[in-house]
Amino acid sequence: MPLVARISERSTGLLYATLALFLTLSFTAVHAQPADAALYATGEKLFKGNCGACHKPDKDLTGPALKGARARWEGKGDIYAWIKNSSDYLKTGNAYANELFAKWNKSVMTAQALTNEEIDAVLYYADNYAPPAPKTADGGGARVPQGPNDAGAAWPWLVVLALLFLVVALSLSGVKKGLANAVQEAEGKQPLPERTMGQSIREWAWNNKAFASIIGLFFVVFIVLKLWDAAWVIGVYGGDEVEHYKPEQPILFNHTLHAGKSEAGNLAINCQYCHSSAEKSKHAGIPSTNICMNCHTAVNEGRSPEGTKEIAKIYAAVGWDPNTKQYTGKTEPVKWVKVHNLPDHAYFNHAQHVAVGKLECQECHGPIDEKMDVAEQWAPLTMGWCIDCHNQKEVKMAGNGYYDEVMARLNETDLGHSELKKYLEDDKISVKELGGWECAKCHY
Amino acid sequence: MSSTKRYWMDLGDLHQHPEAIKGRENEFPQDLAIDQVLGDQNFQGASTGRRDFLKFLGFSLGAATLAACETPVIKSIPYVNKPEDITPGVANWYASTFYDGEDFASVLVKTREGRPIHVKGNTRFGINHNPKVGKGSINARINSSVLSLYDNERLKNPMHQGADATWADADKAISDKLAAAATAGKRIVVLTNTVISPSTKAAVAALKAKYATVEHVQYDTVSYSGLTNANAKSFGSRVMPSYDLTKADVIVSVDADFLSSWGSTTEHAWQYANRRDPNGAMNKHFQFEARMSLSGANADVRVPMKQSELPLAVISLHDHIAKKAGAASVGGSKAEIDAATAKAAEALWAAKGRCVVMAGSNNEGVQVLVNSINNMLGNYGSTIDLAGHTYFKQGDDAAVAQLVKDMNAGAIGALLIAGVNPAYSLPNAAEFKAGLGKVGLTVSFSGYADETASLCQWTCPDNHYLESWNDFLPKVGHYTLAQPAIRNLFNTRQWQESLLKWSGSTQSYHDFIRSTWEANMASRGVMGLFADQWNQAVHDGVYQAYAATPAPVTFAGDVNAAAAAAKQAAAGAGEWELVLYTTEAIGDGQHANNPWLQEMPDPLTKLTWDNYVCMAPADVERLKLNMYLGEKAPASLVTVKAGEREITLPVVPAPGQKAGTIAIAVGYGRGENGEKVGKAACITDHNGEFKPVGRNAYPLAAMVAGSMSFEVLNVTVTPTGATYPVAITQTHLTHMDRHSVVKETALGVYKAGDKSAYNHAHELAVHEDVNGDGKINAQDKKSVLEFDLWEEHPVEGVGHRWGLSIDLNSCNGCGACVTACNSENNIPVVGKDEVRRSREMHWLRLDRYFSSDTTKESAKADGLGKIDMYLKMEVPSESPKVVFMPVMCQHCNHAPCETVCPVAATTHSNEGLNQMAYNRCIGTRYCANNCPYKVRRFNWFNYVTEQFGEVNPAWDDLGRMVLNPDVTVRARGVIEKCSMCVQSIQAGKLAAKKAGTPVKDGDIQTACSAACGNGAIIFGDLNDKNSQVRGLATSDRSYHMLEEVGVQPNVNYLVKVRNVEEEAAHHA
């Protein structure tokens, strides 16, 4: 990466950091604190853990908004019993409960193993809920990603300018030649011999050796630098220095928001909720749009206006009319850009690594849940990187009948036993030792 | 025991022909392909100097580097609404049924991301399912059928007079014309192949209900009319009976190629194989025939006879049996034929009720006699089931002949043609074509604008069978279903649905089948919810409704009349007799457009991409035609004339062929008039002309005595003096020498139990006193297993060790494994010219060895000197014994290829596999040179280019859909070879790891082992003490090919055991 670009990226980062700090401070300053901050916090935590999937404090979702629930129940029944086990409570014949049940499409609320105190905390939180201040570009909301070309947006103009200069220079040289010929003619001499551009340049260079060499040197250095950079980009050198591939996607899906930790205000959805085939198939799979609709049937607003726009793109893709809450039948698949590209001759299987090797997604995909609002390639995905891991990782053999058989066979013969001893020199059986470095494990 | 019988690979080898010997010295007989580049005239005229070259080089390097910097943007588009049962990257298997009028099989279709990519036999159900090995028996045509789904020449819309039309227009126009024809009282004929689908018959009946003049005529391209008519005369039911070869101790076949083309072949194949196990009760098989058929090649006793002698052989068999049974004989055979059939008759009589006689003849008389023989032997109700008969081959030649006449007489109002191609396959095709013009409405349901469809007014293209719903009733009470594995690729419609539409129904064919089934089940009082039963039937692909009720069989045929007809069929023989046959690959010609099949070498002649005249070597010599065929040795052309009809084809010497009889395969020469019949039916030949592959031999057939006869007893053969290049894989793959490649023995020797008599261990003399007699001499030997050039690989007892065990007894040479391997491993099709240069890419080949009968013992007895003995050993026997041997990479534990690779592109895995990393390979081909088995293939070209577009399916976007996404498509300049389907091994291991259990024996199958329903190829883990493959590998019959080389392969072979008494053991 060119030095300039690096500096510019760092400074942008610094800028964002300052901005964030400032916003955080100001947010803290203006945000009204509830009377019992501790109870509010407990309630918030419980709410997010148990209720958030179906309720919002201030809006109806699958279930009703919880703000004011206590007041609504006042004198009509036992809200604690209702929350703890709604279907049991319905059987008591409570009129309000049955009215609510009918109103909310007769969907039974999951029984909640909460104490009365905890319910108090949740309701306290809901009653005192204050929506967070609108998110800024940096706040974990739907930040518009910086396109890879943003920084260099001036280059087409530079090219245009360069072309203009070239045209001017060529016409000038034509004029000059014409004038020189005119002079020759005026002096009664033969016109200058017609020369090709190459010859002219060569002659000029011969006459201005020092200057030409300096220009030439610069040119060579420039080309070498460019090639060097290009080689970085295509991952020739491998390692951590590889440029992270982060293409612009048709929908600005925010991984951090969806999969990030709930403490940070994110949704903490398990990766495999959407990438469900990671356990079953070689492909982790890009979730089909109907998976999005599991939540986004209800969640039709983003945390920012931009977010809402992006959600609308899902609706357009799947053919959902958010107003009538009906499918229109007109669909348009989302054309995602593939981020992790392996060469054709390399076979990689997610299921092997996720279901059998029990790796966390982050081990190869990086902190996708923490700081990747837009998915990017984190690991170099070179063969060196693969086999490095195969060399270090211990095979998760415990409790797997397949590996029990492998161990049983190793213990059966002398040859096997001596092999096993070799394996265990470093007190573990690595992937490599069971054949994880062999060609036809990945290439066939 | 020392060497007694010599095996030879081809006639060139046998006669030590200088060309053949020279060819054997070179690993790659063809010079480098660089000649083609440097020989290019354009290049020679070019004036590129060294400096220019360097400039270009520099520029290209820079440009390529810059171009490479661009990160490719790959789009990834998920489903909008993902179907529940599809997971991208995981294969789904669907049970279905393959039936094309010629072959029948219950199959499993493998789909990936919704694309069918592989077909194998049903592993649980169906008449082709072999319960002993848990696999379904299929042939090459069946597993190659998946490729024809992606043929770009398939019709993409309905056609009217050669132009695209819409279904609405077609329906309207055709309905109107049908109504007009019915009103005018003119006949509406539905001409099909044998329909075994109850729902299709119901659909035809629905059309008849609407238009009273509808008639259904069935036409079998390769006819069995004679046989079914004979059954009508003998037993009153015009059917093809069902044979149970598992019950047959003795099989006598007179020209019936029951393993390849005659009757229910996929069923016969596994039944026959199960009875070839020398540890069980092995059957004894006699074959009388003129050309060497696949069944003949497998026979214990094969008697070559002229075609005209075969009816007499049946008479003679009849009289032998009649004599023993005390019945009247018919008489009329000859003494020498009586002698030839005596042994077979004796064996039959000894196995009364446990034997079967079959005849391939389409002569009614011959078949009545065969019925009489089987009746006298009491085979009905045991080996032959008339009550539980098949529904195959219902075609009626007489009705077809009458139809052609009626068409010409203008009596037919409308003709709807499905599943047959009479304009190509009828001997009187010209008459048929003329008649077509006189029919008011002609509609073809063909998926291609083929010979017949291109002459019809309308073509309403049928779906490919993998896009279709259908039901089948191959046998009494045994129903099967076909379900679509992919949605229609093109704007096609099932022809049954078209019939329903025209009969005024709006039902889809799927609903129609369901309703027929529901009504059928209700009428038989089947209990339970229909939806459940239907779903189960779709899941299994098979529904066993009921078993046939056995009924007593009374033979009512007139044997004397039959004998007269048979003698008539034997009369009029001339100098040359001709028999037409179908090959293992192309069959009756429906699949001639399938490049996998065209490139599959014929099991016996090893020829690809052509049909030809099979001629006895003695005749070839007599006519002074080219005997030794090869890359630079073309075949001689002859013109065969039968009456007015003639055909010019190359001559291929075929050992085992009876002198005086020639054989020509039908099914070739598709698209002669430029019809678009599919991808590989026509190719650019050696003269640069775009021509059909082979020539059409159907016109040589003729109607004789009311049924189609595929033999002509009086033809002339005239050499034209010209030659024709042929692509033969036979001479290319030399095996160092034959010793210790093939081991075979007689059943008696095997049963005696002395392993050293038929499968001796290989030993090498060493310079130490091994036997302790105080002397060091040739008697001091050690087992080859004790010698090692290589370091010990830790394979035994460590993890898995994958291996294959190949039973030379069960292998009948059908070649289904070859095409299964093509399909699974994305093997390129290279075309005739490249095969001719021995550059075929097959990872698995089927070697065929002929034997020579003279032995050292017999020579000694005859008092021959050494030179005379060897000369005599080179004389081919009239009917050589044949051994088929599937050869793939042997995955040597001490692999010679691995040692010589300079870049470690081929290495050994800890699971015993010899791995090939294409991206490391730099193409030195040292490995291929050092491989004793010659199983490594070099990619001379990028086969995914226009140069090979004519033949290679991976060239066009549609054909590419058949590729297996788990296997790399190899690029030019690398070596490739059998990987033992490592992708399936890895997938199987992963499944076990996910389930947390050890790999279960049999759960992992290679493509070849899964394709072999005969159980000839068994795959498994040699380190698993309880696996079937380990049991076989450690059995007495197990040996390694070229064991003395000491490469310790993971593939072993089981000694071939023949059920013959007279022969001594043989191994070297």
pLDDT digits (tens, 9 = 90+) for B333-390: 888 888 889 999 999 999 999 999 999 988 889 999 999 999 999 999 899 999 999 9
CB distance B909–A439 less than 8 Å? yes
Contacts made by residues B1035-1042, CB under 8 angstroms, sequence distance 24+: B1036/B755, B1036/B759, B1037/B278, B1037/B750, B1037/B759, B1038/B759, B1038/B805, B1039/B740, B1039/B743, B1039/B759, B1040/B890, B1041/B740, B1041/B741, B1041/B887, B1041/B890, B1041/B933, B1042/B735, B1042/B736, B1042/B740, B1042/B741, B1042/B932, B1042/B933
Whole-number Å distance between alpha carbons of B935 and B944:
22
Identify the residue among B76, B90, B824 best suited for mutation to test binding to A, counting A beta carbons within 10 A and taking the highest.
B76
Measure CB to CB from residue B76 to each of A336, A412, A438 and give the nearest one. A336
> What does the pLDDT look like over B925-976, one tens digit per residue?
999 999 999 899 999 999 988 888 888 888 888 988 999 999 999 989 999 9
Chain A residues closer than 8 Å to B993 by CB: 352, 355-356, 400, 402-403
The answer to whether B612 touches B619, Cβ cutoff 8 Å, is: no
Which amino acid, B1068?
A
Q: Does the pLDDT value for residue A136 go beyond 60?
A: no
Q: Tell me if chain A has a CB within 8 Å of the CB of B55.
A: no
Chain A residues closer than 8 Å to B71 by CB: 233-234, 245
% chain B with pLDDT above 70: 91
> What does the pLDDT look like over B413-439, one tens digit per residue?
999 999 999 999 999 899 999 999 999
Q: How confident is the model at residue B724 (pLDDT cuts 50, 70, 90)?
A: very high
Residue B1051's pLDDT is what?
94
Q: How confident is the model at residue B28 (pLDDT cuts 50, 70, 90)?
A: low
CB distance A444–B796 less than 8 Å? no
Chain B residues closer than 8 Å to A318 by CB: 80-81
> What does the pLDDT look like over B291-323, one tens digit per residue?
999 999 999 999 999 999 999 999 999 999 999
Q: Could you give the dihedral angle defined by the CA atoms of residues A341, A343, A347 and A352, in that order, rounded to the nearest 10 degrees?
A: -20
What token pair was written down for A267? 């949704």
CB distance B82–A288 less than 8 Å? yes
Mean predicted confidence (pLDDT) in A296-306: 84
Measure CB to CB from residue A356 to each of B68, B89, B993 and give the nearest one. B993
Distances in Å between the alpha carbon of B500 and those of A328, B200, B591, B752? 33, 10, 28, 65
Q: How confident is the model at residue B522 (pLDDT cuts 50, 70, 90)?
A: confident
Residue A414's pLDDT is what?
83
Return the residue matching tokens 């389907």: B981
The 3-state DSSP composition of chain B as helix, strand, coil percent (nearest 5) reads 30, 20, 50
> What does the pLDDT look like over B475-514, one tens digit per residue?
999 999 999 999 999 999 999 999 999 998 899 999 999 9
The sign of the CA dihedral A313, A314, A318, A324 is: negative
CB distance B798–A277 less than 8 Å? no
CB distance B993–A285 less than 8 Å? no
The answer to whether A236 touches A374, Cβ cutoff 8 Å, is: no
Chain A residues closer than 8 Å to B919 by CB: 345, 443
* Predicted model pTM: 0.80
Q: Does the pLDDT value for residue B141 go beyond 90?
A: yes
Q: How confident is the model at residue A22 (pLDDT cuts 50, 70, 90)?
A: very low
Mean predicted confidence (pLDDT) in B632-647: 90
Q: Does the pLDDT value for residue B734 go beyond 70?
A: no
Return the residue matching tokens 């419609």: B493
Catalogue all structural domains in chain B, each as residue range(s) with its CATH number: 6-17+735-1058 (3.30.70.20), 159-222+395-544 (3.40.50.740), 225-230+240-390 (3.40.228.10), 578-728 (2.40.40.20)
Chain A residues closer than 8 Å to B997 by CB: 401-402
Q: Does the pLDDT value for residue A28 go beyond 50?
A: no
Q: Does the pLDDT value for residue B231 go beyond 50?
A: yes
Q: How confident is the model at residue A248 (pLDDT cuts 50, 70, 90)?
A: confident
Residue A140's pLDDT is what?
38
Residue A233's pLDDT is what?
57
Q: Domain A37-127 classified CATH 1.10.3720.10?
A: no
Q: How confident is the model at residue B21 (pLDDT cuts 50, 70, 90)?
A: low
Q: Does the pLDDT value for residue B109 go beyond 70?
A: yes
| Domain spans, chain A | 37-127, 255-371, 383-441
Q: How confident is the model at residue B1012 (pLDDT cuts 50, 70, 90)?
A: very high
**Which stretches does DSSP call E strand in B161-268?**
163-164, 187-192, 214-218, 240-243, 250-254
The answer to whether B966 touches B959, Cβ cutoff 8 Å, is: no
Q: Tell me if chain A has a CB within 8 Å of the CB of B992.
A: yes
Phi, psi of B329 (to 5 degrees): -90, 160
CB distance B79–A233 less than 8 Å? no
> What does the pLDDT look like over B835-876, one tens digit per residue?
998 899 999 999 888 877 777 677 778 777 777 776 666 655
Q: Tell me if chain A has a CB within 8 Å of the CB of B83.
A: no
Per DSSP, the three-state class of A337 is strand
Mean predicted confidence (pLDDT) in A230-244: 56
Q: Tell me if chain A has a CB within 8 Å of the CB of B982.
A: yes
Chain B residues closer than 8 Å to A434 by CB: 799, 910
Q: Does the pLDDT value for residue B1067 go beyond 50?
A: no
Mean predicted confidence (pLDDT) in B50-67: 72
Q: Which residue has the higher pLDDT, A33 or A167?
A: A167
> What does the pLDDT look like over B975-992, one tens digit per residue?
999 999 999 999 999 999
Measure CB to CB from residue A345 to each of B82, B968, B989 and give the nearest one. B968
What distance lies between CA B791 and its chain's CA centroid?
A: 42
- Rounded to the nearest 10 degrees, the angle between the axes of helix B495-502 and helix B167-183 is 60
Q: Tell me if chain A has a CB within 8 Å of the CB of B766.
A: no
> What does the pLDDT look like over A103-123, one tens digit per residue?
776 777 777 778 888 888 888
% chain A with pLDDT above 90: 7
Identify the residue among B92, B801, B974, B994 best suited for mutation to test binding to A, counting A beta carbons within 10 A and taking the highest.
B994
Cα of B154 to nearest chain A Cα, Å: 29
> What per-residue string of b and e applies to A1-17 under the rule 16 or more CB within 10 Å gives b?
eeeeeeeeeeeeeeeee
Which residues lie closer than 8 Å to B335 by C-beta, 6 or more apart? none
Identify the residue among B66, B74, B798 best suited for mutation to test binding to A, counting A beta carbons within 10 A and taking the highest.
B798
Chain B residues closer than 8 Å to A348 by CB: none
Mean predicted confidence (pLDDT) in A55-81: 80
CB distance A435–B910 less than 8 Å? yes
Cα of B498 to nearest chain A Cα, Å: 29
% chain B with pLDDT above 90: 55
Q: How confident is the model at residue A266 (pLDDT cuts 50, 70, 90)?
A: confident
Instruction: Name the closest residue on chain A to residue B909, using Cα atoms.
Output: A438
Q: Tell me if chain A has a CB within 8 Å of the CB of B536.
A: no
Whole-number Å distance between alpha carbons of B918 and B913:
15
Instruction: Name the closest residue on chain A to residue B905, using Cα atoms.
Output: A439
DSSP letter at B576?
E
CB distance B917–A281 less than 8 Å? no
Q: Does the pLDDT value for residue B731 go beyond 70?
A: no
Q: Which of B767, B768, B769, B747 is nearest to B758 (CA)?
A: B747
Chain A residues closer than 8 Å to B1022 by CB: none
What does the mean pLDDT of chain A come to?
78
Q: How confident is the model at residue B31 (pLDDT cuts 50, 70, 90)?
A: low
Chain B residues closer than 8 Å to A233 by CB: 69, 71
> What does the pLDDT look like over B750-792, one tens digit per residue?
888 888 888 888 888 888 887 778 788 878 888 887 777 766 6
Q: How confident is the model at residue A72 (pLDDT cuts 50, 70, 90)?
A: confident
What does the mean pLDDT of chain B come to?
87
